[in-house]
Amino acid sequence: MAKITFGDIEENVVTREEFNLDRAREILKDETVAVLGYGVQGPGQSLNLRDNGINVIVGQRKGGASWDKAIADGWVEGENLFSLEEAAKRATIVQYLLSDAGQIAQWEMVKSNLEPGNALYFSHGFGVTYKEQTGIIPPENVDVILVAPKGSGTSLRRLFVAGKGLNSSYAIFQDATGKAFERVVALGIAVGSGYLFETTFQKEVYSDLTGERGILMGALAGLFEAQYNVLRKNGHSPSEAFNETVEELTQSLMPLVAENGMDWMYANTSTTAQRGALDWRHKFRAATEPVFDELYDRVSSGKEAEVVINANAQSDYRVKLSEELKELRESELWRAGAQVRKLRPERK
């Protein structure tokens, strides 16, 4: 295991150089990995496992869009595609990748099919961390492990196909067999992680829920809307407002940040942009840090988990969700975005 140091803080990480794919295959050679769920993380993780030569099967409810997608992706019913219960029965490692609500609904079935020495794998710490609300309490005779790719399953798959990796966190909640570390790292490498950094189930879900509601999705969407609205109120066209708010960020500036950091991005902009950015970042930090404090408190107290569980329990939740997403999609901001994306020139 390698170490990375940030001042006086030392972190455990595992790289593909020190723990390569051949080693992962050797560790997993006698395992049957069942990926339960073919929604967000399921496709990317299962396809990467399959392409890496791991014995993997998929469990999914038959008859829905996700089942059809699995068929389209080359999974064969009765061979490596089964019902959730049948896949769970066949597995030595259950990758529990259903939605948080789906995990709650299917937990008794999954628990009844776990054998001593099996491993129960998560990509989100939600169910175990908020066990008082979810009822997900793993039996003591199985390994309970986590690999959480830091991005969507779509990104995990795209980077894998491109010969790259998406960084992931890993955690061990319970080591019943003495093999939990080797299992979790082997799976992390086999699903396509760039490198793995150590965390806990609790820290993973606290950071994940904060990030999703914060800068990754909620805050970003809110900031986009605020700046776009201000520009439009002051007479700027939809194209100009969208390009200055979203397009330049996603197509030009964020790739520079990803490449070499925020200072690198600043260094590759005009001195006018640099001066304004350096001055105004303090104002935005001061304005938003109290919101992040409130958000983290709600996550760590379980209030956000309660909201999620209650919302998913409503029979018309999917309908309401579709309506909210439609409202977002049909706003002028994102209708402008659809038009701008059509005008992006293709590289020849």
CA distance 90 to 32: 7
Q: For residue 257, which phi and psi values (nearest 5 degrees)?
A: -65, -45
Which residues, in sequence order, are CB contacts of 339 under 8 Å at separation 6+? Answer: 238, 239
Identify the pLDDT of residue 19: 92
Identify the pLDDT of residue 346: 72
The answer to whether the beta carbons of residues 337 and 242 sit under 8 Å apart is yes
CA distance 303 to 305: 5
Q: Is 124 a catalytic residue?
A: yes
Q: What tokens appear for 157 in the block?
A: 């798959």
Identify the pLDDT of residue 189: 97
Q: What is the pLDDT of residues 53-84, one digit of tens each?
A: 999 999 999 988 999 999 999 999 999 999 99
CA distance 159 to 192: 8
The answer to whether the beta carbons of residues 117 and 95 sit under 8 Å apart is no
Specify the pTM.
0.91
The answer to whether the beta carbons of residues 201 and 171 sit under 8 Å apart is yes
Question: Catalytic pick from 35, 97, 124, 149?
Answer: 124
The answer to whether the beta carbons of residues 81 and 71 sit under 8 Å apart is yes
Per DSSP bridges, beta strands 193-198 and 9-15 are antiparallel
Q: Please report the domains of the chain, with CATH numbers, ordered by start residue.
A: 2-199 (3.40.50.720), 211-342 (1.10.1040.10)
Please state the length of the chain. Answer: 348
Identify the pLDDT of residue 44: 96
Identify the pLDDT of residue 347: 58
Q: For residue 110, which phi and psi values (nearest 5 degrees)?
A: -65, -45
DSSP strands (E only) in the chain: 2-6, 9-15, 33-36, 56-59, 81-82, 93-96, 119-122, 143-149, 166-174, 193-198
The answer to whether the beta carbons of residues 190 and 54 sit under 8 Å apart is yes
Q: How far is CA 134 from CA 8, 169, 170, 186, in A?
A: 37, 22, 21, 28
Q: What tokens appear for 154 in the block?
A: 């779509």
For the chain, residues with pLDDT lower than 50 are none
